[in-house]
């Protein structure tokens, strides 16, 4: 599991770097304007369509089905089920894409009610360009799930890299002449190349045989629909949170959606590198343990992964929150992106950063439910967390603007993650898991101490190094981050955190732990060499 997680972490990290390059090109060429707000809002309808058909959860819903066929030696049946799912769900996705093309201009006022007519027209145009990419994302998700079931991670890891490279290429080639439409065309190019074409090649190498097939009675299709229905029907905070920032952000100043989007992208770096990568890599192992009925072993594997992720993400939250101005200036402050844009983005980032450990935690804990083939609980809990957070979105936006909207997001993910953890603990090990809570409390307290040390550092260093220059921002971030890391680790040791005490070498900080017994069941070899 450690090797797979390390590969996915490297992929996510490189993807985030390319994502920064993409957002930096947008910031340099266009800054934070009504057109950039329209561009980011244009992804709401495609995102909703993907969510409606459970596209974002394909690796979760399809992996157990395909894995079972492989383990039982029924690969041909697995390929038939794949063909039925890809054909039928692909046709459904195509239908909704075409429908969205016709209704885009009528739907934009619903998802961005604060936009004036000219901004609605721009958002509708950009929506029509990026909508077809959802077909490539959906089919690509199935193709990647096939490779994950074979423990092949390399080609799926390239998908976000190629996708972001396509967006950058489109923006550089067409951004000056076609505005944000150049980036939208890049989305289409990147999704086809990275999420579909490369993954089709990888799935073929993994032994997949596809043929168009419409069979509503296929058992694999029926199980897929059964697992996907909760995700289709629910509105989990994990997905809806970004929609909320766009909806409420459309009522704020021009550029607010762009500030929130840029801050969210920065927040997602540690979430992706640590939380998402570890969640993807641990899921096949959790599924294998759950299938064997070894709930205690599954909880031990999940807890070991979660402790490590929470440990590094608490430090990341402290560093990103305290040094938000330095981070934003170093990444975005150039070209049309002004110092005011920098301060507004940094304000949102400081509030978003509070939720970093909790976003990481929910990516791990939710996979514990999915390994148990329970998709209802995470969806219902996420929907409940969203509904409970709605007053916070409204009131904090009214009182604090972009900072308040980002803070409401952190409140929502706190409710979501803590509720999921408590329910999963009750279903697996019961009260035996309560002792873990003290460990997470120690890490959170150490993070708060590191943050206070960071604020002190900012006051002292401000006498000699200004944050308002690129060089000064980098120096302050590097030195301040290192000082905060030292304080954090020392405080965790003094609190007798067993996670901190388990770190003996530098690689232990960047490498998820390997848990004895976390071994996936053997599978028949597929044609071709193994990627991982």
Q: Is residue 370 one of the residues assigned to a domain?
A: no
**Contact between residue 357 and residue 413 where contact means Cβ atoms under 8 Å apart:** no
191-205, 299-313, 377-391, 514-528: least confidently modelled range:
514-528
Query: Binning pLDDT at 50, 70 and 90, where does residue 484 land?
Result: very high
DSSP letter at 525 equals: P
Query: Binning pLDDT at 50, 70 and 90, where does residue 526 land?
Result: very low
Helices 2-30, 324-332: crossing angle, 10 deg rounding: 70
- Among 226, 213, 203, smallest CA distance to 91 is for 213
The two three-digit tokens of residue 217, written as one number:
């009675």
The residue ranking higher by pLDDT, 354 or 22, is 354
34-38, 230-234, 343-347: least confidently modelled range:
230-234
Provide, rounded to the nearest whole percent, the portion of the chain with pLDDT above 70: 90
295-301 average pLDDT score: 86
Q: Is the pLDDT of residue 61 over 80?
A: no
- Among 423, 415, 422, 417, smallest CA distance to 377 is for 423
Q: Is the pLDDT of residue 351 over 70?
A: yes
Please state whether the predicted TM-score (pTM) of the whole model is above 0.95: no
Q: Cβ atoms within 10 A of the Cβ of 52, count?
A: 15
Q: Highest mean pLDDT range out of 52-61, 67-76, 248-257, 401-410?
A: 401-410
What is each CA distance from 323 to 161, 214, 265, 337, 484, in whole angstroms? 27, 54, 16, 19, 10
Q: Is residue 19 one of the residues assigned to a domain?
A: yes
Q: Is residue 351 one of the residues assigned to a domain?
A: no
pLDDT at 521: 41
pLDDT at 117: 92
Give Cβ neighbours of residue 199 (< 8 Å, ≥ 6 apart). 140, 143, 144, 147, 155, 156, 159
Query: Please, is 231 exposed, middle or buried when counting C-beta atoms within 10 Å of its C-beta (0-12, 13-18, 19+)?
Result: buried
- Among 36, 318, 11, 362, smallest CA distance to 175 is for 36
Following DSSP, what letter does each residue of 199-249 receive, concatenated?
A: HHHHHHHTT--------TT-HHHHHHHHHHHHHHH---HHHHHHHHHHHHH
The two three-digit tokens of residue 439, written as one number:
């460990």
pLDDT at 300: 87
The beta strands (E) that lie in 396-502 are given as none
Q: Is residue 204 one of the residues assigned to a domain?
A: yes
Q: How far apart are CA 518 and CA 321, in angstroms?
A: 35
Q: How far apart are CA 494 and CA 73, in angstroms?
A: 52
Average pLDDT in the chain: 85
- What's the number of domains the chain is made of? 1
HSE toward the beta carbon, residue 8, CA cutoff 13 A: 24
HSE toward the beta carbon, residue 242, CA cutoff 13 A: 21
Q: Is the pLDDT of residue 277 over 90?
A: no
Q: Is the pLDDT of residue 394 over 50?
A: yes
**Contact between residue 137 and residue 192 where contact means Cβ atoms under 8 Å apart:** no
Q: Cβ atoms within 10 A of the Cβ of 134, count?
A: 24
Q: Is the pLDDT of residue 291 over 80?
A: no
Q: Cβ atoms within 10 A of the Cβ of 97, count?
A: 18
Q: Is residue 518 one of the residues assigned to a domain?
A: no
pLDDT at 418: 94
Query: Please, is 110 exposed, middle or buried when counting C-beta atoms within 10 Å of its C-beta (0-12, 13-18, 19+)?
Result: exposed
What count of residues does the chain have? 532
**Contact between residue 363 and residue 417 where contact means Cβ atoms under 8 Å apart:** no
Q: Is residue 184 one of the residues assigned to a domain?
A: yes
- Among 138, 239, 135, 121, smallest CA distance to 180 is for 121
End-to-end, the C-alpha distance of the chain in Å comes to: 11
Q: Is the pLDDT of residue 269 over 90?
A: no
Q: How far apart are CA 117 and CA 106, in angstroms?
A: 11
Domain assignment of residue 77, given as a range: 1-233
**Contact between residue 335 and residue 29 where contact means Cβ atoms under 8 Å apart:** yes
Query: Binning pLDDT at 50, 70 and 90, where does residue 5 land?
Result: low
Query: Binning pLDDT at 50, 70 and 90, where does residue 505 land?
Result: low
């Amino acid at each position: 599991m450690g090797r797979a997680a390390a590969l996915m972490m490297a992929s996510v990290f490189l993807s985030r770097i390319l994502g920064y390059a993409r957002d930096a090109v947008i910031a340099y060429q266009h800054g934070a304007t009504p057109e950039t707000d329209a561009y980011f809002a244009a992804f709401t309808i495609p995102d909703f369509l993907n969510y409606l058909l459970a596209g974002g959860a394909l690796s979760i819903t399809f992996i157990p089905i395909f894995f079972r066929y492989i383990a039982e030696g029924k690969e041909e049946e697995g390929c038939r089920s794949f063909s039925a799912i890809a054909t039928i769900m692909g046709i459904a996705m195509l239908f909704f894409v075409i429908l969205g093309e016709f209704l885009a201009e009528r739907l934009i006022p619903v998802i961005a009610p604060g936009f004036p007519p000219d901004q609605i027209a721009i958002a509708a145009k950009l929506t029509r360009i990026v909508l077809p990419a959802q077909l490539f994302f959906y089919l690509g998700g199935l193709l990647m799930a096939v490779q994950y079931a074979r423990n092949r991670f390399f080609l799926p890891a390239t998908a976000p890299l190629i996708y972001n490279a396509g967006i950058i290429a489109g923006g550089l080639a067409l951004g000056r002449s076609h505005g944000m439409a150049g980036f939208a065309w890049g989305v289409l190019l990147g999704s086809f190349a990275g999420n579909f074409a490369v993954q089709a090649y990888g799935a073929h190498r993994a032994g997949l045989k596809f043929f168009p097939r419409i069979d509503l009675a296929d058992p694999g299709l029926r199980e897929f629909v059964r697992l996907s229905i909760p995700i289709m029907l629910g509105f989990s905070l994990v997905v809806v949170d970004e929609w909320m920032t766009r909806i409420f952000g459309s009522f704020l100043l021009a550029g607010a959606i762009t500030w929130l989007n840029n801050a969210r992208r920065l927040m997602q770096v540690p979430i992706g590198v640590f939380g998402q990568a570890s969640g993807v890599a641990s899921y096949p192992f959790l599924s294998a343990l759950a299938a064997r009925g070894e709930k205690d072993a599954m909880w031990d594997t999940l807890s070991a992964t979660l402790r490590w992720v929470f440990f590094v993400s608490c430090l990341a939250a402290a560093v990103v929150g305290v040094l938000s101005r330095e981070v934003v200036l170093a990444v975005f402050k150039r070209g049309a992106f002004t110092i005011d844009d920098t301060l507004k983005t940094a304000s949102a980032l400081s509030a978003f950063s509070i939720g970093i450990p909790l976003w990481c935690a929910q990516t791990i804990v939710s996979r514990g439910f999915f390994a148990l083939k329970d998709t209802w609980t995470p969806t219902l809990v996420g929907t409940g967390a969203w509904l409970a957070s709605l007053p916070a979105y409204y009131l904090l936006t009214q009182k604090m603007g972009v900072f308040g909207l980002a803070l409401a997001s952190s409140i929502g993910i706190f409710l979501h993650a803590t509720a999921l953890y408590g329910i999963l603990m009750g279903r697996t090990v019961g009260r035996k898991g309560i002792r873990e809570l003290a460990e997470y409390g120690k890490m959170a307290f150490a993070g708060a101490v590191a943050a206070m040390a960071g604020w002190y550092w900012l006051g002292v260093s401000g006498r000699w190094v200004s944050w308002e220059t690129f060089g000064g921002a980098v120096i302050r971030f590097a030195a301040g981050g290192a000082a905060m890391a030292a304080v954090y680790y020392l405080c965790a040791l003094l609190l007798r955190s067993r996670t901190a005490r388990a770190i003996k070498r530098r690689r232990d900080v960047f490498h998820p732990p390997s848990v004895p017994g976390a071994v996936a069941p053997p599978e028949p070899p597929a044609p071709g060499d193994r990627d991982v």
